Amino acid sequence: MNGGTAIFEQLRATLGVHGVFVRGSLSFNEGEGPLLTDGTPARGVVLLGNIGGSIWPAFSAWRDMPDNGISMNPLDDWSKAIIRPVAAMLEATVYFPSDPPWQPFQRWAMQAERLQASPLGILIHPEYGLWHGYRGALGFAEDLREAQTIASSPHPCASCVEKPCLAACPVGAVTTAGFDVQGCRSHLRTQKGQAGCMTGGCLSRNACPVGAGYRYPSEQLAFHMAALQL
Ligand code: B12
């Protein structure tokens, strides 16, 4: 077993129980990777994230525990609490999607899993659809890309003629020209927004037919909408 294989096995064994999965890896040419804690650029990065509602049972159980030091961003706190120890054990540099300066998680994911952007801006996975996200990434001095062949699949949105995601937004905040964050947030504050999107999740995201079986549980949908409204 080489070092890379052991690292992937360790990550799967430690984080899988929390519903956090290895979401691909990528290698960088010398000098092009994100900086490691010693100031040198990484040669390898491993992406970690959720698939469907995989993190919800572990996260919500942790959130309900007393004395967990919870802040305004409990999901980010939880991600740090579970990923930091394994990063330390593997002597990796850890990056979190929520921490400035923002690392280009979406660009990394496009390379690692060959994902492409949906009209919502978020990346669409051929199997999980819009129901996935990133909880962290680990940087290493060595290129440890897992031997894997990721089939290049057609963009799931290319064959979707009706594009129900574009029609579903009640205020037209989702367009091919971009996402109108202010328009979305203004609507979320209205009575209609509170009863609709805030309760049942983003109507555009819900309208996507790809990966519908991976849709987040309703409590998680409402949780993400509350975070978006902040
Ligand atoms: C700022 C931010 C926001 C802001 C602004 C978003 C906006 N649309 O303007 C706010 C708070 C509003 C927001 C909301 C949401 N976000 Co957000 N957000 C981020 C954050 C922290 C930084 C994004 C950024 O600017 N990166 C800097 C650039 C340089 O990075 P980049 O990867 O190179 O950027 C590429 C992509 O942005 C991509 N891209 C983005 N939009 C589009 C659109 C098209 C058409 C194309 C071709 C490419 C493209 O092109 C860029 C260049 O390669 C990222 C986390 C991160 N660190 O990436 C999450 C992130 C992008 N968000 C995410 C999510 C899930 C959401 C929400 C659905 C969450 C929710 N609560 O409902 C909403 C939906 C927003 C929407 N429809 O766009 C996920 C996306 C996962 C995925 N499947 O792609 C991320 C990666 C966070 C995570 N933990 O997984 N978000």
pLDDT tens readout for residues 80-138: 999 999 999 999 999 999 999 999 999 999 999 989 999 999 999 999 999 999 999 99
Tens of pLDDT, residue by residue over 174-218, are 999 999 999 999 999 999 999 999 999 999 999 999 999 999 999
Q: 197: Cβ below 6 Å to ligand 1?
A: no
Ligand 1 centroid vs 121 CA: distance in angstroms? 7
What is the Å distance from ligand 1's center to 105 Cα?
Answer: 8
For residue 52, is pLDDT > 50? yes
Confidence label for 155 from pLDDT (cuts 50, 70 and 90): very high
106 lines ligand 1 (CB under 6 A): yes
Instruction: Give the global pTM.
Output: 0.93
What type of residue sits at position 145?
A: R
Q: What average pLDDT does the structure give for the chain?
A: 93
Q: How far is the CA of 47 from the centre of ligand 1 (A)?
A: 15
Cβ of 52 less than 6 Å from ligand 1: no
SS3 state at 142: coil
User: How many angstroms is it from 185 CA to the middle of ligand 1?
Assistant: 15
- The arithmetic mean of pLDDT across residues 154-183, rounded, is 94
Q: Answer whether residue 221 shows pLDDT above 90.
A: yes
| Placement of tokens 């020209």 in the chain | 177
* Cβ proximity of 47 and 105 under 8 Å: yes
CA distance 19 to 200: 22
Q: What percent of the chain has pLDDT over 70?
A: 96
Average pLDDT estimate for 142-165 = 84
What is the per-residue pLDDT for 1?
A: 46
